Amino acid sequence: MNENRVLDPTAEQAPAQRARLPRPTSVEGKVVGLLDISKPRGDVFLDRIEEQLAAMGIQVKRYAKPTFTRIAPTELKQRMAAEVDLLVEGLAD
């Protein structure tokens, strides 16, 4: 049986494709996480972001994945979700 199509069991009051969360209008008062995925020079990019956020008086928390070749460990994802309002990650080297 083809399981690529299913019928919506809901009252269809929400869009079929889930919308992304809206971007925050301001970072003021927010805690911003910076995630280094452990690719070379990611830290250079994130250090500069931290510098700029700190200059704006924004609280910053730093995180790093053990390796860019694996998805983040569950414990790290849970910790970030619990501790910050926004997350910035540097993807490429």
Q: Residue 20 CB: number of other CB atoms within 10 A? A: 6
**Alpha-carbon distance 41 to 19, whole Å?**
32
Distance in Å, CB of 8 to other proteins, minimum: 5
Q: Which is nearer to other proteins, 10 or 69 (CB)?
A: 10
Q: Which is nearer to other proteins, 3 or 28 (CB)?
A: 3
Q: Which residues bind other proteins (CB under 8 A)?
A: 1-13, 16, 18
**Region of residue 41 (left: phi > 0; alpha: psi -120 to 50; beta: else):** left
Q: Which is nearer to other proteins, 4 or 69 (CB)?
A: 4
